[in-house]
Amino acid sequence: MHADRTGPPRGRQKEADRNDERVLRAAREVFAELGWNAPVSEIARRAGVGMGSLYRRYPAKEDLAQALRVDGMNRLTSLARTAMTDHPDPWTALTAFLRAALSSPDTSSLLALIGGRLPATAEIDTADNRLQQALDDLVNAAHRNGALCQDFTSADIPLLLNHLNARLPTTTERATELHLRYLDLILTGLRTPPTTGDRPTSPPDWTELRNLWNAPATR
């Protein structure tokens, strides 16, 4: 996703934006299919851009991965805000967001990439904080409404999506159906508090989540 500009993009900037969208879409597909060692040339081929153009925008593979992280966080933030706007009922908003996140081709293939251990940057931190605030609002509203068990946190959401988004050896349509099936089963449990005392493990917080996402700082 791109920074806000005054007015719509024009001319060369509009074409650059289209190329960037194609590159990010191709990178999501290639990394999801072939893993981190996938050749950058395959990304350029699928995006329909020259290697020179790709390298001018993303000089290293890590730069492309960082752009995917920011884009993925921004997309999830947008889905969360849209769900809250479209659905006044907090439980409906939460379930609508989760279903949209699992169903969207622009988010489902990049959830694992968000979790790549790359260094944090100012842009990553900004996107991360916006995502946390959106998911906090989503979860807190469901807590206040009494619809969601109290020990489920906003930091649970990215990890839950990652678990639910396992790659399956079937068609994209059938994989999405199965992901949503297991989401529905999990949602049943999230509406009901534990009946045998506390859960055996404590929920994650955003500090733990960021430690999973970001590589340790080097001196």
pLDDT, one tens digit per residue, over 3-58 is 444 555 566 777 777 888 999 999 988 887 888 888 999 999 999 999 999 999 99
The Cα 208–Cα 197 span in angstroms is 24
Which residues sit opposite 77 in a β-bridge? none
> Of all residues in the chain, what percent carry a pLDDT higher than 70?
83
Is 1.10.10.60 the CATH number for 1-59? yes
Please identify, in words, the CATH class of the domain defined by 67-213.
Answer: mainly alpha
Backbone angles phi, psi at 203, to 5 degrees: -75, 160
In one-letter notation, the amino acid at residue 178 is: L
The CATH 1.10.357.10 portion of the chain extends over 67-213
Instruction: Select from 132, 16, 5, 160 the least CA-distant residue to 74.
Output: 132
Start and end residues for every CATH 1.10.10.60 domain found in the chain: 1-59
Assessment of whether the complete model's pTM goes beyond 0.85? no
Contacts of 11 (CB under 8 A, 6+ apart): none
Question: What percent of the chain has pLDDT above 90?
Answer: 42
pLDDT, tens digit (0-9, with 9 covering 90-100), for 49-82:
999 999 999 999 889 988 988 998 999 999 999 9
